[in-house]
Amino acid sequence: MKFKTENMQKCEFILKLNENIVCQRYFSVRNFNSLAANSLDLHHTVTDICDDIKEELKWKTLLLVESNGRNYDNNSSSEEENFTITIKKGNKAIYSRILHADIYPPKVRYTVDIRPQISGILRELTDVLSRKKVTTNYQDYSLIVD
């Protein structure tokens, strides 16, 4: 059985802490819809992914504080640190989102592990990027950028 590879696009998911790559995965999207790259659907999907990551970090922080007898000192540095989620199509970034990382203790933010969730994340991204109908308008504004 031969699969049709027409309109197959190579995409990339990258999670970074500052400039250090935490997780990087390549995935293919069959029937890629170029309108989906500028859609509210992609925005909502990445928002859900960010919320899941923040929830995981919050629980790990609570466990850390609890395991240290609630006397945990965050010894945070004055330097601002951020997680960045980037979705790329080929070499072009089509979506990027920044999350504050310095609100979590160093022991939590430096040990982020999203490997258990990565297959679900890539499945969600593949689904939204191959959707035929996507929302490309917000109120009276078009989200399509030339």
* Helix ranges (DSSP H) in 34-114: 40-67, 106-109
Rounded Cα gap, residues 45 and 21, in angstroms: 21
Question: Is 58 among the domain residues?
Answer: yes
The predicted pLDDT at position 16 comes to 95
Is residue 88 within 8 Å of 12, Cβ to Cβ?
Answer: yes
The predicted pLDDT at position 35 comes to 86
pTM across the whole model: 0.82
Q: Quote the DSSP letter at residue 130.
A: T
Q: What are 16's strand-pairing partners?
A: 21, 84
Question: Is 133 among the domain residues?
Answer: no
Q: Which residues fall within 8 angstroms of residue 11, CB to CB, at 6 or more apart?
A: 26, 27, 28, 29, 32, 87, 88, 89, 125, 126, 129
Question: Is 139 among the domain residues?
Answer: no
Structure tokens at 33: 């819809």
Q: Which residues fall within 8 angstroms of residue 66, CB to CB, at 6 or more apart?
A: none
Domain count, the chain: 1
The low-confidence residues of the chain, meaning pLDDT below 50, are: 1
Q: Quote the DSSP letter at residue 145.
A: -
Question: Is 56 among the domain residues?
Answer: yes
Q: Residue 41's domain spans which residues?
A: 9-128
The predicted pLDDT at position 77 comes to 57
The predicted pLDDT at position 75 comes to 57
The predicted pLDDT at position 54 comes to 93
Q: What are 28's strand-pairing partners?
A: 10
Question: Is 43 among the domain residues?
Answer: yes
Question: Is 4 among the domain residues?
Answer: no
Rounded Cα gap, residues 34 and 89, in angstroms: 10
Structure tokens at 141: 């504004």
The predicted pLDDT at position 36 comes to 86
